[in-house]
Structure formats: structure tokens, C-alpha cells
A and B are shown apart, each in its own frame.
Chain A
Amino acid sequence: MLRALVYLRLKSFLNRLTAGAARLRQPKYFVGALVGAAYIYYFMVRPMNASWRPMPPNGMQQPYYGRSTYLQFQAFGQVSTSVGGAVVLFLFLLRQALSWISPPAQPGLRFSEAEIAFLFPAPLTRRSLIHFNLVSSQLRILLSSIILAVVFNRWRVGAAGAIGRAFGWWVIFSTISLHSTAFGLVVAKALARSASPGRVRAIGLSAVGVLAAAAVFSIAGHAHPPGGGANIGPADLPKYMDRLVDVGFLHWLLVPFRWVVAPFLAPNLRTFALALGPALLIPAGLYAWIVRMEVPFEEGSIALSEKWAQIRAAGKEGQIYRAAKADRPVRRDPFRLSGRGRPEAAFFWKNLLAIQSWFNPRLAIVFLGTVAVIVASTNFGGTKGIGEGYAPIVLACASIAGGYTLFLGPQLLRQDLRADLPNADILKTYPLAGWQIVLGEILTPAAILSGLLWLAILAGTWALGRLGSDQTTLEPVGRIVCAAFLALLVPPLCALQLLIPNGAAILFPGWFQSMRTRGGGIEMIGQRLIFVFGQLIAVLIALLPAALLAVGVFIASRFWLGLFAKDHVATIAALFPAAATVFAILAGELWCGLWWLGGRFERLDLSREIRG
């Protein structure tokens, strides 16, 4: 049995490596691998080397003063091991508690569909299947432990070096995994004995409740902060937390968990060696418990594997979140779609349906309620000062939200041709020109992004008006005219932005499909980076002629109008031709882009791309 498993895993691993290496012969993967490798080296390996310093003689960690990217970890390096232990312990406890409170309705062990097809009908005992499952998870845990030990080496927790830390992770993950398996089998056993999932949940909840109550009761008398809490500082907090988790019942409750995390947190090699024995006792005990259980887990395992297969299949089509929510509701038509009219509207309607769950009434109520509270408190607060206090915050939020929406929105809002690429065969049978399909597909994200940006412009304009006259030089009319022009430019700019990723999907469907369907890997990281930077550069290039010409038109108009009107009137009036110029250029670029991409879509041969 074990030999078969080793054969399966080893061959699968080697075949994956071989396939991965063979893929690098194709430029799209090779370039992606180069970029991905460069990213990993500069952002992960190089900083890691800088932090891989010898430990001080006393074995305690020093504060890490690494690159600015990792300064947030500095605080972690300064706290004591015991607090680190307490944090890890807390997370560990939380994980365990959560699994007891919400047991799965149909528990089972995780096997792949192929494993179920081959192993379940095979002449194997349940114990053999459990062993297969355990050893399989061990391979994953080992790999994860090594990766974590390397990636988070900068934390420099413990003194046993990278190998010790990897071992520490391994003990923690193994215990969690074995507990999860044991728990699944216990619930399966309970359900097999006609206990309802609700009853199992109630028992779990009661057990956790009793333990929590006992813990609270035991620490109640020791919860006073040092010095009465008057001058408690960051330096006192670790000791206080340490004391809290080390009293009475809680102390004994946490003993097994302390054993489990002890090797990971060991301050020196001697402690590490001493911690090994007790730490291994816990997973060993869980293992012994599991192999002694005779529980029917087959049905739950089959259901679990089907669920994972669904999620994986949806993930391959870029729809993992939709698959995870299998019971999604039927959505109402966003508007009545008649059979007559522009066919592009059908795509707008279809994609609005797809995105409807993001914009549900509850979200709208929360958003509008928040806005109403802010506006009410600003306008009716009774003093001018309140409004002025809010205005900079609103302005900052509007600017940040607007910037993110403009530059990241097209990457995040993918309900367009990118989502429909697997349906390209169907789309191409429609009696429509390519540009109509491309236009129809980008209408929904363009409309949503435009709406969000208009809100940001509205909020920003309002906030600018609330700022004192000493903080803004724009007159109300100028402010409103500028806002209106910005609002005018938003739709073509959003549509233009969306053309880039959609164009990438059409021009490089092989790259795009590979990013969606072939799982992870260094080449995938590189490919995604190339796409994001490519979009930014393409948009900047598209904006450059519009911006240059608009500046020229503004200066010329301002000069000419200045001959007949007052300065501020001429300035505002000169904005009209400048905005019209930008709008015309963006619209022209958009039309050219649609026309060209439409033609490319008509000639798109997905089968050729995917063959490559």
C-alpha cells in the first residue's frame, strides 16, 4: 500500500516537474518564468539572505531591521518569545475551537476523485485508506513546513535554525491535520449512530463553552494589569499576557498546546531537544486514536471530493468563488431585455446579471446609510467646524478610492470577455461583428467603474467646497466645471482601460488561458506581473497624446479667450475645448481599439492557441 502511494506521489511529482520544464520551451512560459524568478529573488530571497544572520550567544532573537517592505515585522521581532507563543497558541486554539463549533454536515477524509475511483473499489481496508490519506497529507505538510521556514526566516523565532523551525512547523501542522482527521471521523461515527449534525454541533458548542467559561473563571482573579493599568506600556504587555495564560485551569488546558508549539519557539538547542519528546506525543496520540477508529467515511469522502472537483473545475474557468457558493440564488433581470434593439445591450444585461450579487440592496443600504450619516453630521452638526473636519477625510478617501478604481478596477472587475473566453466558440457563432461583441462585453464593467468614479468625483467636489477658502483656490464655478469635465472623460477612459486586459485576452489567449487553467508556479507569477505592468504602460501611452494635445489646446484657448474676457472666465472657458479635445482623442482611440480588437476576435482561433 505504502509503496503504491510513494510510487503515485513520486511519479506525479516527477511528471509535473517534467511537464513544467517542457512548458518552458514555449516563450510565454519561459518569459513568465524569468520574470517570476526575478520577482522571487528580489522580493523574497534577497531580503531573506540579509536576515539570515547568526544568532547571538544568549540565544534570544534580536530586533529585525530589514528592508522597508518588511518593517511591519519589526514589532514582532521585539516582543518576547512567550508572547509569540501566546499568539501562536491563541491561533491554534481558535482553529481547534472553530472546527468543534461548526462540524461539517457530511464529514469525510479528503481524497481526489481519481483516488476514490481507484482505491475505494480496491481490496483495501479502511485502515489502509486512512493511512493513504495520512501519508498524503504528510507530504503536503512537509513541503509547507520547509517553505514557511524559508519564507519566514526573517522572523527569527527560536534558535534551532531553519531546520528546527521547519520541524516546529511540521509538528504544528501535523497536529492540526491529525486533529482534523480525527474530528472528521468522530463526527462521521456520531452521524452513523443517528446523531443529527445539529446535535453534534450542540455538543461541540457546549464543550467549547464549558472550556471557555472555566478558563475565564480561572483567570478572573489574575486579570489585573500591572500597576493597576495606569502606566501600562508595550513593554509590560508581553509579561501581562504571559501571566494570563499561565494560571489555574487555563495553564493545564494549554499544556498540550504549549508542548506542540514548544519546538518552534525553543530559545536554544537544548530546549529544542527537550521539547521534541512531549511535542511528538500529541500527534502520535492522535495517530493512534485515528487508526483505532472503525468509521464509515466513504460517503462523506465522495461528497467532499466532488465538491473539491467542482471548485477546481470552476477555478480553471476563473470562477472559483462562484463554485464555492453552490447554492447561489437566481438573479432578477436588471432590466427587461426585449428581442429588438442593439445586440450589445444583451451583453450589458448578461454581465449585469453576473455581477448582481456584488451590488445587492443590503450593500447599497449600508453605503447610502454611511454617506447619509456623514452628510447629516456635516451639514446639520450645528457648527461649521464639523463639516470642515470631515472634508479633508472625505477628499482623501474619494481620491484614494478614485485612484484605485481607475487603475485597479479594470483588473478586478473581470465580468467581460475575460470571463467569457471559455464561451468564445458560442460567441463566435453569433451573427455579430467582432467589435460589437467586444463593445458589448466591456459595457458592464465600464458602466460600473464610471459610476464609482462619478461618486468619487462628486464626493471630492463636495469636500473641496467644504474646505476653507484658505485651503482651496478653486471657485465654485471652476470646481463644478472641472468636476463635470472629469466626469465626462470617465466613461471613455474606463472603457479604454478595459480594452487593454480584454485585448490581452484576445491577443494572447494562450497566455491568458494558461494563467487561468494551469495552476500555480513561478511562470504564472511572472505572467501575471507582465499583464499588470503591460496594462499600466499601455494606458499611459494611450493617455499621452490626449494629455499633450489638451494642454496645447488649453494654452492656446486661454490666450485667445484672454483677449476678450476676464482671466478667471477665460481660464474656465478654455477648459471646454481642452476637455472636448481629450474626450475626442479618447473616444477615437476607443473606437480604433474596438474596431481592431473586434477584427482580432473574429480571427481568434482558440484551438490553435491552446494547442500551443
Chain B
Amino acid sequence: MIEAQALTKRYGDFTAVRELSFSVGPGEVLGLVGPNGAGKTTTLRCLAGVIPSSGGSVRIAGCDLGADPVGAKRKLAFFPDEPRLFDYLTVRQHLAFVARIYGISNHEAVAQPLLEELEIADKANKLPNELSRGMKQKLVIACGLLHGPQVMFFDEPLTGLDPLGIRRMKDSIIRRAKEGAAIVLSSHLLHLLEEVCSHVLILKKGEKIADGTLAEVAAQFSSGEPDVSLEDIFIRATGGSES
């Protein structure tokens, strides 16, 4: 579903992401972890076609993102860390707008269960300035899920959510994966990623340090110790520093 080959992103002389290759299959959830400035957000933005990559290729559900960006984007959803909304559109109007963009004719029928699942159905006629950050986040998620994407990219999806919201978000991600979606998510909340992710990719300075299932990556850094947590793996893999 997601295939990245030698994905590279450069800003002048600075290389934010270097020759990154990995794949995520249907039903898999890949946790993208790394210290601050490791290139997680840049990677996600390149994968979602938000910014152009400087090299390499990305295929989304069989569509080459570089050759057919429109086709690839029909199959993906990107959820940025900061909920960016249109100030003057209500919750319902946001969904109507997105429905037209994606050509969803029966969007009311799709939107209502989504709003109820995300518990913002009673806010349908509210403007973004009347919503809490968590609710804004939920609206962004509702907009992203409206067209039933096969591939999803979450950038720090749990930021701003209360404990119940975090639990529901985790359940939602796991459910979408079980339904066959390929999901990549980045977060610093490692214990939560442990619960949600089937695979993990550790980045440092834009380079892949480790990639595989949780068990595979644990085996790589555990030195034979049993029950090593993702946090321990992360610290060992990155050397405990940003640089």
C-alpha cells in the first residue's frame, strides 16, 4: 500500500531525509519515531504529497505519487499535527466542502456516523473558534476519513486530546487498520505507539536506524534482554541524544 524507495528531501545543503526506503502493507500500522528534528514530519509530508521530495519514489496503493499525484491523493489522508481549519466554515460546512473536493455524492450519510463516532455530532453547526483543540482535531480526522482512504498519515495525532480522546483515537486507528488501511503515524508517546503499531521505523538525522516489526526492532537493540520497551529501544537506537 505504501512503498517508499530511496526517499530523499534536501533543503539546500541540508538533507532532512536521506535515502529512506520502507513499505507498509494493508492492515499494518507503522510508527515513525525519532528525536526532535529527525525528519519525521518532513517524511510524512513527502509521503502525503504535501511537499515534493528531492529524490526517490513513493507509491500509494499502487499509484506513483510523482507521476500521478491526483490519483495517489484520492487514496490517502494526511492528518497534520496542528488542526488547520477554515475559520468561517462550520463543522458541517467543512465536511460538505471536502465532500465536493473528493466527489462524494452521499456525504451526509457518510459524515453523520463519523461525527457520531468522533463525538462532535452536536457541534455540527459550530465554527472552529467555538471548538476546543481536541474537537478541532476530531473535525480534521472526520474530514480526512470522509472519502474512506486506504492510506493514512498521522502526524502526532494524539496531541491535544484528553485521555478518553486518546483511547478513542487509538481504537479508531486500530480499527481502520483491521479494515485494511495502511497507516503511518509519528508520535513521541512511545508507550502508546507500542499499543497501536505493528511496525516501527526509527529515524535519526533523516536516516533510518531501524525498521521492522516491534519484535524485530526489539531483538536488534535488546542485546538478548527480554521485555524491552519501545522507550528503551528508542534510547538505545538514538544514543539518547538529538545529535
| Contact residue among B48, B100, B105 (Cβ-Cβ distance under 8 Å from A429) | B48
User: What mask results when residues 94 to 116 of chain B are scored 1 for a CB within 8 Å of chain A, else 0?
Assistant: 00110111111111000000000
Residues of A within 8 A of B57 (CB): none
Q: Cα distance A350–B89 when bound, in Å?
A: 7
**Distance from B90 Cβ to chain A, minimum over Cβ atoms (Å):** 5
Most buried by B among A322, A338, A341, A602: A338
A226: min CB distance to chain B, Å:
57
A-facing residues in B19-41 (Cβ within 8 Å): none
Among A150-158, A325-333, A523-531, the stretch that binds chain B is A325-333
Residue from the list B51, B69, B97 in contact with A605, Cβ < 8 A: B51
Please determine whether B97 and A607 come into contact, CB atoms closer than 8 angstroms. Answer: no
Q: Are A431 and B45 in contact (CB under 8 A)?
A: no
Chain A contact-residue range equals: 35 or more
With A322-B87, A422-B84 known to touch, is A328 a contact of B73 (CB < 8 Å)? no
Could you count the A-B residue pairs with CB atoms below 8 Å apart for me: how many are there? Answer: 97
| Interface residues contributed by chain B, number (CB under 8 Å) | 39
Q: Which of B11, B71, B93, B127 has the most CB of A within 10 A?
A: B93
- What 0/1 readout, one digit per residue, does chain A (425-445) give for beta carbons within 8 Å of chain B? 110111111000000000000
Stretch at the interface among B75-83, B168-176, B210-218: B75-83
Given A319-B87, A431-B70 in contact, is the A611-B11 Cβ separation under 8 Å?
Answer: yes
A139 to chain B, nearest CB (A): 33
The verdict on A606 contacting chain B, using a C-beta distance below 8 Å, is yes
Q: Judge whether B105 and A339 touch: CB under 8 Å.
A: yes
Asked if A224 is an interface residue, CB under 8 A from chain B, the answer is no
Shortest distance in angstroms between B138's beta carbon and chain A's nearest beta carbon?
16
- The interface residues of chain A lying within 8 Å CB-to-CB of B86 are 350, 354, 420, 423
CA distance A38 to B93 in the complex (A): 47
Q: Would B104 and A603 count as touching, CB distance under 8 A?
A: no
Q: A428-B50, A607-B42 are in contact. Are A433 and B87 (CB under 8 A)?
A: no
Q: Among the interface residues A322, A328, A345, A607, which one has the most CB atoms of the partner chain B within 10 A?
A: A607
A343 at the interface (CB under 8 A from B): yes
Contact between chains at B76 and A353 (CB < 8 Å): no
A420 to B73, CA, bound (A): 19
Contact of B51 among A338, A346, A349, A607 (CB under 8 A): A607
Residues in B whose Cβ lies below 8 Å from that of A350: 86, 89, 93, 97
A518 at interface, CB cutoff 8 A: no
Interface string of B45-65 (1 = CB under 8 A from A): 100111110000000000000
Q: Can you list 29 pairs linking A and B with CB atoms under 8 Å apart?
A: A319-B87, A330-B125, A333-B96, A337-B100, A338-B100, A338-B105, A339-B99, A339-B103, A339-B105, A343-B103, A346-B100, A346-B101, A349-B97, A350-B89, A354-B86, A423-B86, A426-B80, A428-B49, A428-B50, A428-B51, A429-B73, A429-B76, A429-B77, A430-B102, A431-B71, A431-B101, A432-B101, A607-B11, A608-B11
For the complex of A and B, 4 pairs with smallest distance between CB atoms: A346-B100, A431-B73, A431-B74, A339-B105
A residues sitting closer than 8 Å to B (CB atoms) are: 319, 322, 326, 328, 330-331, 333, 337-341, 343, 345-346, 349-350, 353-354, 356, 420, 422-423, 425-426, 428-433, 602-603, 605-608, 611
